[in-house]
């Protein structure tokens, strides 16, 4: 028997931001393998009796390795079950989706990808700012703040990231932002470029802090905390946050 796997994007955490297709797949699932940031009220949509398996990976915490997660996904599907692999934000953005897709393809298991609200888009909306601005921010770029070792990637396109007319969103970058900010300033980005630290986006404890990149670098050098966060910088509009 061969089951079916739905890669379901849960959005940033608020269950109201789930798509109708995401809710449908959760209600019909026999098993849900979920990330830490896709837990909580989102799992209330799963039917009683379905298997719930936490496979989340968080920096600084004991977590299952990627090979184990992929193998577990294949094993569940091979029993003929309808399986949901629940990922935060949009599963195609920094979510290790490709490794799991490869494992399913090699095992001959049918699957689908259900897109969701990217956390970057939710952060901008909740902060009351646009990601693009006519004449001043015609380009948006997403970048990860750490590589597989947890450090700042050493092959970043710093010329692009220091473009003062682009809005840049840094995922998983609190630990490495002081180093990144120094490199950006060295490559010509003004130290007073606006920056936004968005933590626990869409959750009850969400918090937004406005800084310059230099001030945010100093703040994160002192304390980073354990809340998941995004950093946005560039020609950001003034908003409600």
Largest Cα–Cα separation, the chain:
59
User: 35, 87, 90, 174: which is the annotated catalytic residue?
Assistant: 35
Contact 12, 230 (CB under 8 A): no
Told to judge if 57 belongs to the known catalytic residues of this protein, a careful annotator would answer yes
The pair of structure tokens assigned to 30 is: 């026999």
Task: Report the SS3 class of residue 166.
Answer: strand
**DSSP class of 60:** T
Beta-sheet strands, E only, within 111-151: 111-114, 139-144
Distance of alpha carbon 182 from alpha carbon 3, whole angstroms = 49
Please pick, among 21, 24, 36, 57, the residue that the annotation labels catalytic: 57
At 8, which helix (H) or strand (E)? strand 4-9
Q: Is 174 a catalytic residue?
A: no
Phi-psi region of 240 (alpha: psi -120 to 50; beta: other; left: phi over 0): alpha
Name the residues annotated as catalytic.
35, 57
């Amino acid at each position: 028997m061969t089951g079916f796997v739905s890669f379901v994007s849960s959005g940033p955490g608020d269950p109201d931001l789930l798509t109708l297709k995401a809710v449908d797949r959760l209600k019909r699932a026999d098993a849900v393998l979920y990330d830490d940031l896709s837990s909580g009220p989102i799992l209330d949509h799963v039917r009683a009796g379905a298997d719930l398996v936490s496979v989340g990976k968080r920096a600084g915490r004991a977590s299952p390795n990627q090979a184990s997660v992929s193998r577990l996904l294949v094993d569940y599907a091979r029993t003929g079950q309808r399986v949901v692999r629940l990922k935060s934000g949009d599963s195609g953005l920094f979510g290790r989706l490709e490794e799991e897709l490869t494992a399913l393809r090699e095992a001959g298991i049918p699957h689908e990808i259900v897109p969701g609200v990217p956390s970057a888009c939710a952060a901008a909306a909740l902060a009351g700012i646009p990601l693009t601005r006519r004449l001043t921010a015609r380009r948006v770029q997403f970048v990860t703040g750490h590589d597989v070792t947890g450090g700042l990637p050493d092959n970043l396109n710093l010329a692009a990231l220091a473009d003062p007319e682009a809005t840049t969103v840094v995922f998983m970058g609190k630990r490495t932002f002081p180093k990144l900010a120094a490199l950006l300033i060295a490559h010509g980005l003004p130290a007073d470029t606006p920056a936004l630290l968005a933590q626990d986006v869409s959750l009850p404890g969400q918090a937004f802090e406005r800084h310059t990149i230099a001030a945010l670098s100093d703040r994160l050098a002192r304390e980073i905390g354990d809340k998941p966060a995004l950093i946005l910088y560039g020609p950001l509009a003034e908003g409600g946050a």
